Structure 1
């Protein structure tokens, strides 16, 4: 797909809603219209254009609702939540930009208003967890709103929220007869933006609390609980499943072996270093660390990924501490402990999936490897340009694991 936004970073973020088109999150013309409004503008212009579009959709929702068209209002509020959510990614970083907080709060408010409408309203919930409860939504299966069904827990990644997971997978799950549970954990969404709680490697503690919450729900089949991780969730979910035995099936999209290995390979090649020199990135020679930081700061995309997002999400303020933290996110010695049937995905042209085959080879459980190709329009990170293909194949696989029957 040709770039819609002039700035490559804006195009990366601004085309996320393409994945949501089959599930009511946007239409292509709306995305293109925002891109045209941004033009050659900077991050401020990008943010302002998305906010203006979100406000227009929300205003239309209110007018439509006042006229008694509840179904249309629901669609518009949910769509507005996507536009608010898409506005603030370039603003990532600590201290938190007030515009990001405002957009996030408006995103959640629009989402909640949309979900509250219709014959089966959904209300926001809280999952008890240590000192700060996690925000959550229980999304019922369409046509089975009062029946016990299999559940899929949808695990976010580095920079997505419950709204993203709703449009990426929850709508598809509901159509396929699955209840789903959305949540934002440490380092994600509200937990990071509002409370400053960073990411943590022992994700089994997080998922343990999520499963406890799920099992208390009367509509959840306790023998058929799946965990699906998207983006960095393709690392976090497997880490949790290596310990949490109540998970009956696991999906890692993509299978992410390690956070640090990508940096390890890049620094070794960039600075012509032997393997032993990059064995522990937190202990890099100071001269190498300084050159690495210069390289990161000089590249707009890497600056955003590492300094704006990485430092903030990991709760650090320098490259050495960030790389030391990244070393803690590795599945070596843990993948072998996963026991439930596991689906590992790998999309062509997705750097995050580079080690998916290594991950797959380490598994000792029943396992399936699923590739997505450019000639299917499903290459790139998390199959965002053909998300419906991923959902069809992933839910077909899950149907087979759980013997799901539809009316």
Structure 2
């Protein structure tokens, strides 16, 4: 294997500082051990920083963002956040693992028969914190915590959904060579109801979708079906399956299942794709035309372009030359360097893990397949294309998707002044859900 010189490695880090696929990276962020607000950022819409490490800030904000829909409590997340050392993956795990264990103990002390709401909310928070504890562990596939934390989060979440007014139903659907774990959440209302199907993206679980948007859908008298396909957390763990580009092979069995239910209105089914699924959902809609509407949140036309743009022209040219050994050497050198920013390290590790790739080069080869070129014209369904004003890693992709869709697209920019400018409007779910779900109700009315 060829290794980089110090000058080559420095060139890569400082000419490609936005090599990000999971959360935004702000270059030259001061590495302090305490939470900070950037003193020089007083522009309207600037957000208080929850950690000096920009990726940790984003993931702490992610945990906080579930508070409106029972997935977190603000104070306990902020206490955990204060224990996290910038750039230290283990400290991130430890802070959220300790919090999850404390909430677990609290949940176990609640008599769920007498106090079902209290027990449910504690269990939901417990599950969310175990998921956060897992987030930065995927660089070492043999780490037993990758599985043990997931077992704990699933157990807590399943106990919680049994305590909903209309209990959630776990189902397993058959895909093409894989199984699709799904959860049906009923509206509790009589008759056939509008139903939103929803999946997460590059790193998120279907359980997270309940807190991101699922409860907001239920509040509006509609059903929810969440699901996961290959590459996503439970399927990757339990079936050893990495991402596949043909996402219609995942969505079509979910639509079939929805149509089999007597409480689903066949003419009012939507599909919500979150983050990377802002590409996957439109992709599926190009092959299955039974959907009334699609939500690309945020919109993504070409994941391939987004990734290779972040690699930069030199690394992309190296990849295209077919020099696998040198390409792998560059990426592995970056991962091995303790000075590598969290965002770069995590994004590559997560990509290799979730695509189940043997090497960085193999992962990049798979990424090339994720574009709507030659496919987008087959979409016939109205699509809500969300964009975030401060989008850091899929910049410009929502606009491209909207332009390619033409009159089928409803493009909406979520702005920083409303606290909605982060990727997927993280931290502004009440606002973003209002905008998107009002649109969906108008489409199906």
TM-score, scaled relative to structure 2: 0.83
> Does 2:403 correspond to 1:361?
yes
* 1:176-191 matched pairs, under 5 angstroms: 176-191=220-235
Secondary structure at the residue paired with 1:243?
Answer: coil
Distance 1:39 1:304 in 2: 16
Distance 1:133 1:172 in 2: 27
Secondary structure at the residue paired with 1:37?
Answer: coil
Secondary structure at the residue paired with 1:82?
Answer: helix
Aligned to 1:289: 327
- Residue 225 of structure 1 deviates from its aligned partner by 0.8
Aligned to 1:325: 366
Aligned to 2:42: none
- Residue 126 of structure 1 deviates from its aligned partner by 1.1
Contact 1:282 1:324 in 2 (8 A): no
Aligned to 2:130: 84
* 1:5-404 matched pairs, under 5 angstroms: 5-39=51-85, 42-65=88-111, 68-93=114-139, 95-141=141-187, 143-144=188-189, 146-269=190-313, 271=314, 277=317, 281-284=319-322, 289=327, 292-293=330-331, 296-297=334-335, 298=337, 299-300=340-341, 301-306=343-348, 308-350=349-391, 351-364=393-406, 366-403=408-445
Distance 1:173 1:66 in 2: 25
Distance 1:70 1:268 in 2: 52
- Residue 296 of structure 1 deviates from its aligned partner by 4.4
Distance 1:77 1:294 in 2: 39
> Which sections of structure 1, spanning at least 5 residues, go unmatched?
none
- Which moves more between the two structures, 11-20 or 165-174? 11-20
Contact 2:306 2:397 in 1 (8 A): no
* Deviations 1:228-284, CA, capped at 9 Å, x for gaps: 100000000010000111111011011111122123334445x398xxx48xx5545
The higher-RCO structure (CA 8 Å, 6+ apart) is 2
Secondary structure at the residue paired with 1:324?
Answer: helix
- Which moves more between the two structures, 194-203 or 48-57? 48-57
Distance 2:324 2:225 in 1: 44
Contact 1:337 1:364 in 2 (8 A): no
* Deviations 1:22-62, CA, capped at 9 Å, x for gaps: 11111221111101233468322321221221122122122
Distance 1:205 1:86 in 2: 29
- Residue 285 of structure 1 deviates from its aligned partner by 5.0
Report how many residues are paired.
394
Contact 1:339 1:365 in 2 (8 A): no
How has the CA–CA distance of structure 1 residues 132 and 366 changed in structure 2, closer, same or farther, with 3 Å as cutoff?
A: closer
Secondary structure at the residue paired with 1:194?
Answer: helix
How has the CA–CA distance of structure 1 residues 167 and 361 changed in structure 2, closer, same or farther, with 3 Å as cutoff?
A: same
Contact 1:252 1:344 in 2 (8 A): yes
* Deviations 1:314-360, CA, capped at 9 Å, x for gaps: 12122221111111000112111100111111101112242211111
How has the CA–CA distance of structure 1 residues 67 and 249 changed in structure 2, closer, same or farther, with 3 Å as cutoff?
A: closer
- Which moves more between the two structures, 152-161 or 53-62? 53-62
How has the CA–CA distance of structure 1 residues 85 and 286 changed in structure 2, closer, same or farther, with 3 Å as cutoff?
A: closer
- Which moves more between the two structures, 317-326 or 201-210? 317-326
- Residue 152 of structure 1 deviates from its aligned partner by 0.6
How has the CA–CA distance of structure 1 residues 96 and 258 changed in structure 2, closer, same or farther, with 3 Å as cutoff?
A: farther
Contact 2:352 2:359 in 1 (8 A): yes
Secondary structure at the residue paired with 1:102?
Answer: helix
- Residue 295 of structure 1 deviates from its aligned partner by 7.3
TM-score, scaled relative to structure 1: 0.90
